[in-house]
């Protein structure tokens, strides 16, 4: 999304109750190793190399089928020009053998390619493996910004709530009220050496900061 100068988010639902006219902006993402949207569009996950020799093969292309497959490319001859065999079921069966390396992208099937940086110097029986991805891992929520109506009167007052994920789900961190007050759900700290006129009161109005 690209917005120039101004971004307006409208809520067309009428209401005067507390939390009416609510608009929620959620921030979501994936952890390392999960199947993200980038993995999904590419069609496969990270490469696993098994062996002790030259590790210079990369998978490429975009997977264009709807089945989960495990591609394995294995060195089947180490010679002046090395050759490989490949499988789409993790090595249970083999689709081709003795395929000479070219140093350029070579297609296996269904949009998947392999490229060897060198055409010789590999070790017999070492192999590279990927598993195709046809769906993404469910995203986790990092935080939210919620804007809604404050109170129950027929007016235009609003409040904004900031939430973050503390590792056990999304929780309210701070609420900004229509009168300019702010409510913190936990402690409020000044950073080291910071100065400012900040007064913090508890729910009874007693000043609690020193």
In a domain, 151, yes or no: yes
Indicate if 18 and 46 belong to the same structural domain.
no
Same-domain pairing of 201 and 153: yes
Identify whether residues 93 and 162 lie together within a single domain: no
Q: Is residue 125 part of a domain?
A: yes
Same domain, yes or no: 47 and 22 = no
Would 187 be classed as within a structural domain?
Answer: yes
In a shared domain, residues 193 and 116: no
What is the rounded distance in angstroms from the CA atom of residue 62 to the CA atom of residue 26? 30
Q: Mapping DSSP to helix (H, G, I), strand (E, B) and coil, where does residue 38 land?
A: helix
Spatial neighbors of 145 by CB under 8 A, at least 6 apart, are 24, 25, 160, 161, 162, 163
Identify the three-state secondary structure at position 137. coil
Q: Does any domain span residue 111?
A: yes
> Tokens 């098994």 identify what position?
50
Q: 52 with 121, same domain?
A: yes
pLDDT confidence of residue 56: 98
Q: Indicate if 68 and 152 belong to the same structural domain.
A: no
Identify the domain boundary among 131, 156, 187: 131
105: left (phi over 0), alpha (psi -120 to 50) or beta: beta
Task: Give the model's pLDDT for residue 190.
Answer: 61
Same domain, 109 and 148: no
Domain boundary among 131, 157, 181: 131
Q: Tell me, what's the pLDDT at 189?
A: 62
Return the SS3 of 40.
helix
Q: Decide if 22 is inside a domain.
A: yes
- Note whether 49 and 126 are same-domain residues: yes
Residue at 115 is within a domain:
yes
Whether 169 and 145 map to the same domain: the answer is: yes
- The residue among 131, 157, 179 that closes a domain is 131
Kindly state whether residues 100 and 44 are assigned to the same domain: yes
Residues 6+ apart with CB under 8 A from 63: 42, 43, 44, 110, 111, 112, 132, 133
The whole domain housing 18 covers: 13-30+139-210
pTM of the model: 0.61
Q: Which residue has the tokens 């929520």?
A: 141
One domain, residues 106 and 160: no
Q: What is the rounded distance in angstroms from the CA atom of residue 144 to the CA atom of residue 25?
A: 6
Q: What is the CB neighbour count within 10 angstroms for residue 207?
A: 9
pLDDT by 10s per residue, the chain, length 210 = 677 888 888 888 899 998 899 999 999 999 888 888 888 888 998 999 999 999 999 999 999 999 999 999 999 999 999 999 999 999 999 999 999 999 999 999 999 999 999 999 999 999 999 999 988 889 999 999 999 999 999 999 999 999 999 888 888 888 989 988 888 787 666 665 555 556 677 777 787 765
User: Is 109 domain-assigned?
Assistant: yes
**What is the side-by-side order of every strand in the sheet holding 48-50?**
48-50, 127-131, 70-77, 83-87, 96-100
How buried is residue 176: exposed, middle or buried, by Cβ count under 10 Å (0-12/13-18/19+)?
middle
Q: Is residue 54 a contact partner of residue 82, using CB atoms and an 8 Å limit?
A: no
Looking at the structure of the chain, the number of domains it has is: 2
């Amino acid at each position: 999304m690209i917005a120039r100068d101004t971004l307006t988010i409208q809520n067309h639902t009428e209401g005067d109750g507390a939390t009416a006219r609510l608009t929620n902006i959620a921030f979501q993402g994936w952890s390392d190793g999960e199947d993200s949207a980038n993995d999904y569009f590419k069609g496969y996950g990270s490469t696993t190399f098994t062996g002790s020799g030259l590790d210079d093969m990369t998978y490429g292309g975009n997977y264009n089928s709807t089945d989960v497959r495990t591609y394995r490319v294995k060195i089947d001859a180490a010679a002046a020009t090395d050759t490989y065999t490949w499988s789409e079921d993790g090595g249970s069966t083999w689709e081709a053998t003795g395929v000479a390396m070219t140093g350029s992208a070579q297609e296996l099937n269904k949009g998947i390619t392999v490229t060897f940086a060198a055409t010789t110097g590999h070790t017999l029986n070492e192999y590279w493996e990927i598993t195709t991805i046809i769906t993404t891992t469910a995203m986790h929520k990092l935080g939210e910004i919620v804007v809604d109506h404050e109170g129950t009167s027929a007016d235009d007052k609003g409040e904004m709530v900031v939430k973050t994920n503390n590792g056990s789900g999304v929780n309210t961190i701070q609420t900004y009220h229509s009168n300019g007050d702010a409510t913190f759900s936990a402690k409020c700290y000044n950073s080291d050496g910071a100065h400012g006129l900040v007064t913090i009161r508890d729910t009874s109005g007693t000043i609690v900061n020193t």
